[in-house]
Amino acid sequence: MAVNTAARGTSAGVDPSGPNKPTPRRYLAPLLLPAVILLALLSIYPFVWLIYMSFNAVGLAPGAPNEFVGFDNWSRMFSDSQYWESWGILAKYSVVSMVLEVGLGTLLAILLNRSKHEKLLITILLMPMMMAPVVAGLLWQYLYNGTFGWYFWILRSLGLLDEGTILGSSDIALWAIVAVDVWEWTPLVALIVLSGLKLVPQDQMEASWMDGAGPVRSFFQVALPAIKGSLMIAILLRFMDNIRIIDHFIALTGGGPANSTKILPLYLYEQSFSFFELGYGASIALTLLLVTILFGKLVVNRFEEREENPAKKDEELV
């Protein structure tokens, strides 16, 4: 396992800064345009529509006209307390699940790196990620169920849950969904961090141990600087996915109880497709997109940094 950095320039004697000779211009258009046109139709055209929709009350019946309403949707959004609250819940959810996933994932990666059963363990860790998130949500709803749920039973038997059900209590429900996210996606963080750890030269680690640094200190001195880049990518990807995918929430709580799990993308989903306030939904969607694009810029910068960092060039193991 090696990191993407190494993908370029490893093939025999090619200059890494520009791995291959340029393709003559006349070939570029027929190669690029089909994909670019298709993608433009599927992303730029809808984006323009989204902006248009945010200034309209969108008609619902087939052929119904849209009504221009100026900045109504926008002013409504800025004075909508649920909108701001949903940002808050999203932030709380993202930060807590991210901290747990990065902590657990890093620990897992370190242990995997030493384990003789690395391959088998990785196969097991991959399994939750293959599961359709909505099915994962349903499965956990069953595990949390107050009548049939095994996890509910375990919590009760251990005396950790005094009254009520897990998903029915507004102060627990969000953390219950965090647990599902941790279950499904901690392995992703672990695998990304593992790829970074593979780049730490073993003798450096050993030298640090010989100096009497001990495992914890040598981790912070030797390993952590080397996996910083991987950690950053993992964190950013997890943040983006928390905004992208709301299937767990739809399956588990639908935003309840008492709106305690209504993260912003879920609020957007509800406004757009339960109440069919598509114009209002468009305004919310645009703000979400803006944040995503900012995050996206950070992610891409990270990837490019890794690709351009010459120190890590020769690490590919294939």
Partner 1 sequence: MTNPRTATEAGSTEIQDDRAAVKDDDLVPGPAVDARDQVVRGRGSRIVGIAISTFLTLYVIWTLAPFYIMITSSFKAKGDAFSLPAEGDWGGAAEKLIAFTPTTQHYTDLFAQGEFERYFMNSLIAALSSAIISVVFGTTAAYAISRGRFRGKKDLYFWIISTRMAPVVAVTVPLYAIFKNFQLLNTLPALILAYTVFNLPFAIWILKGFFDAVSYEIEEAYMVDGHSRWQALWKIIPLVAPGLAAVVVLCVLLAWNDFIFAAVMGGEAAKTLPVATQGLKSASGIEWGQIMAAGMVTVAPMLLLGIVIRKYMVQGLTMGAVKQ
Of the candidates 91, 101, 115, 262, which one interacts with partner 1 according to CB under 8 A? 115
CB atoms within 10 A of CB 59: 13
- Among 192, 194, 190, 195, which Cα is nearest to 233's? 192
User: Would you count residue 160 as binding partner 1 (CB under 8 A)?
Assistant: no
Q: Which is nearer to partner 1, 99 or 300 (CB)?
A: 300
Contact 6, 196 (CB under 8 A): no
Q: Are 255 and 174 in contact (CB under 8 A)?
A: no
Which of 166, 191, 227, 235 lies at the binding interface for partner 1 (CB under 8 A)?
191
Q: Is 225 in the site for partner 1 (CB under 8 A)?
A: no
The full DSSP string for 190-228 is HHHHHHHHTTS-HHHHHHHHHTT-HHHHHIIIIIHHHHH
Residue 218 neighbours by CB distance under 10 Å:
21
Q: How far is CA 286 from the centre of its chain?
A: 19
Q: Quote the tokens at residue 185.
A: 């996606």
Of 98, 176, 226, 251, the one binding partner 1 by CB under 8 A? 251
Establish if 22 lies at the interface with partner 1 (CB under 8 A): yes
Q: Residues 65 to 94: which contact partner 1 by CB under 8 A?
A: none
Q: Of 67, 171, 206, 308, which one interacts with partner 1 (CB under 8 A)? A: 206
* 235 binds partner 1 per the rule CB under 8 A: no
Sketch the per residue contact string, 131 through 150, with partner 1: x for CB under 8 A, - otherwise. xxxxxx-xxx-xx-x-xxxx
Shortest Å, Cβ 130 to partner 1: 4
Rounded Cα gap, residues 129 and 134, in angstroms = 12
What is the footprint of partner 1 within residues 94-113 (CB under 8 A)?
Answer: 107-108, 111
* 162 touches partner 1 by CB under 8 A: no
Give yes or no for residue 273 binding partner 1 (CB under 8 A).
yes
Q: Does 127 bind partner 1 (CB under 8 A)?
A: yes
172 vs 205 by CB, closer to partner 1: 205
57, 91, 96, 122: which one contacts partner 1 (CB under 8 A)?
122
One-letter amino acid of 21: K
Residue among 121, 168, 170, 175 that touches partner 1 (CB under 8 A)? 121
What are the C-alpha distances in Å from 244 to residues 133, 256, 291? 12, 19, 11
